[in-house]
Structure 1
Amino acid sequence: MKAKKIKTTLILLLGLGVSSAANAIYEITCPDTIEVKSIPTELETLPDGWQITEQKNMLLHVDSGEVYSDRPINLGQLIPFTVTIEGKKYKNAWLIDNNSWFNCSYQRNRVRLIKQVDPSMKTCWVIFEKDAKGHTKVKLNCDKVLHNGPKSYS
């Protein structure tokens, strides 16, 4: 009888594991900081009497994250909307396609890291948190489900 209970328990636990794995959230986490050796600035013309000073050996903290419909260089930034997922409201959510990119911004887009979003995803939302030192942490969560909950484009 004990063996039968253990088998039943194992089957139930395995079943729960499979169902939660099927609903797993895809996640991209921006690196909290990046070390920059130098940021070159190129000007087509330098105004008379001016010089450029380069910033070197900087530690930049992530400050934002957005989704683009193509590589961010093509300027296809998607407009976020508000969506409620599992009872929680997210202000920055996007319905995405198979060529969406996540942009991690450092020092207000002074440096960007980009990563393509898994093409099988349908809805993504960004989560901003603060660590103990007050630095922003940025994470993109995505789901294969098309979330058409309450939306507002403001």
Structure 2
Amino acid sequence: MSFKLIYLKTCCCGYLFQFISDFVNYMLLLSEKWLSVDADYDDKMLKHLLRIMKMKDKILSTGILFFTCLGAAQSAIAYEIVCPKSVTVIYAKPDLKQVPEGWDVSEKKQDLISLSGVGVYSGKPVDLAVLKPNPVIINGQKQQLGWQVNREYDNPYGGNWVGCSYNYYEVELTRQIDRSMKTCWAVYSQDKYQATLAKLVCSTEVVE
């Protein structure tokens, strides 16, 4: 989830809450006018309007609680990095120093290889500083494959990077993790063909 998406959702929630508040106030204004103009107005309608008046505080307090909880949940999870589920490799003909007499070098056609896993590195993956995952608790939920990222000793190496591996590290796609993130965890699933799907979800929350 990107920062822009969170911002848009927060704005939409704010506008929705304002709409609810304005609607309640409008109904209250109408009820006051109806009560003052026509004393013989239908009893059921009057009871309904009075019920709205009594529920005003409850509606507003519930709305405030809902949007507060929603905002807290969205602020905890800042974004996620989704690994492509497959990549296509185009192989070149191997250039051997010397081809044994009587032998030819076979050419391998292009191949579609599937995602096998996701990991986190301290610094660029080319340096092979793979971080060991550990359980973390985020928003009350335990995640088995978690990492603390952008720590003080990661900074000299350029922070942390995520690596999506294909066919068990035959190919790896890498991307730097946003420097504002403090905790990340891997989430695995499968598509309808039982192929592996994986993403790295990151949060600004610091966990021990």
TM-score normalised by the chain length of structure 1:
0.76
Amino acid at match of 1:8: L
Amino acid at match of 2:115: V
Q: Does 1:136 align with 2:196?
A: yes
Alignment partner, residue 38 of structure 2: none
Q: Which 5+ residue runs of structure 1 have no aligned equivalent? A: 149-154
Give the whole-Å Cα distance in 1 for the aligned partners of 2:142 and 2:109: 40
Counting strand residues as a fraction of each chain, which structure ranks higher? Answer: 1
Q: Does 1:64 align with 2:117?
A: yes
RMSD: 3.0
Deviation of 1:84 after TM superposition, in Å, equals: 3.2
Q: Which 5+ residue runs of structure 2 have no aligned equivalent? A: 1-22, 29-55
Alignment partner, residue 151 of structure 1: none
Aligned length: 147
Please give the per-residue CA displacement for 1:46-65, whole angstroms capped at 9, x wherever unaligned: 67467654433222211111
Change (3 A) 1:45 1:146: farther
Alignment partner, residue 60 of structure 2: 8
Give the whole-Å Cα distance in 1 for the aligned partners of 2:125 and 2:94: 19
Give the whole-Å Cα distance in 2 for the aligned partners of 1:131 and 1:30: 13
Q: 2:126 aligns with which of 54, 62, 73?
A: 73
Q: 1:102 aligns with which of 138, 145, 162?
A: 162
Give the whole-Å Cα distance in 1 for the aligned partners of 2:125 and 2:104: 29
Please give the per-residue CA displacement for 1:96-148, whole angstroms capped at 9, x wherever unaligned: 11510000001111111101101111111111112221110011011111222
Alignment partner, residue 91 of structure 2: 39
Q: Greater shift after overlay, 26-35 or 4-13?
A: 4-13
| Highest RCO, 1 vs 2 (Cα 8 Å, sep ≥ 6) | 1
Q: Greater shift after overlay, 63-72 or 41-50?
A: 41-50
**Max Rg structure:** 2
TM-score normalised by the chain length of structure 2:
0.59
Identity %: 29
